[in-house]
Amino acid sequence: MRVISGTHKGLPLKAVPGKDTRPTTDKVKESIFNMIGPYFSGGLGLDLFAGSGGLGIEALSRGFSKVIFVDRQMKAVQTVKTNLEACRLTEQSEVYRNDADRALKALLKRELVFDGIFLDPPYKQRQLERLLAIIEEHDLLAKDGFIVCEHGSEHSLQEEIGRLRQVRVETYGVIRVSIYKWGK
């Protein structure tokens, strides 16, 4: 794994030790950023199931101002911090050990609005539509923001969740990526 493009292009990223975390492959990561960017002029990001932090770090490398990384596993949090230090991105990030629901509640209290949200939960838990509904209900996404959902290719997400609209879906083998934005 590595940073694909931007100011930190080519820097290697460590994977989370063990088999509990499935890192986004470089091919899928590059495809995701070709769909949503590929480059940005600032913005606040949320990497909610951060794992190694690859998606959020890629967003920082491509121009996001700041990314908040959240994962419930201590090994993942430690790996994110290691990768951020190696890329010299600790000043542009916050890293928390928390589950997704509690993290969203904490972020609501801070009244944050995100330009980009990356959701890559364990595929078998199928919690994406519930999380998208929370994000939609509480307006956690900026007006021109995007949400990237990574999930198993055997599962299709709803095209509309409240005011959120699925604007793109791509399948890469066993992985499916669904992109959401605010509807008109």
Residues recorded for the chain:
184
Question: Helices 128-137 and 100-109, interaxial angle, to 10°?
Answer: 10
d(CA 11, CA 3): 5
> Residue 179 belongs to what H/E stretch?
strand 175-182
Q: 79-108: per-residue pLDDT in tens?
A: 999 999 999 999 999 999 999 999 999 999
Nearest to 135, CA basis, from 104, 106, 159: 104
Q: Where are the domains of the chain?
A: 26-155+165-182
| Number of neighbours of residue 157 by Cβ within 10 angstroms | 17
Q: 17-65: per-residue pLDDT in tens?
A: 877 666 778 888 999 999 998 999 999 999 999 999 999 999 999 999 9
Its pTM surpasses 0.75: yes
Q: Which CATH architecture has domain 26-155+165-182?
A: 3-Layer(aba) Sandwich (3.40)
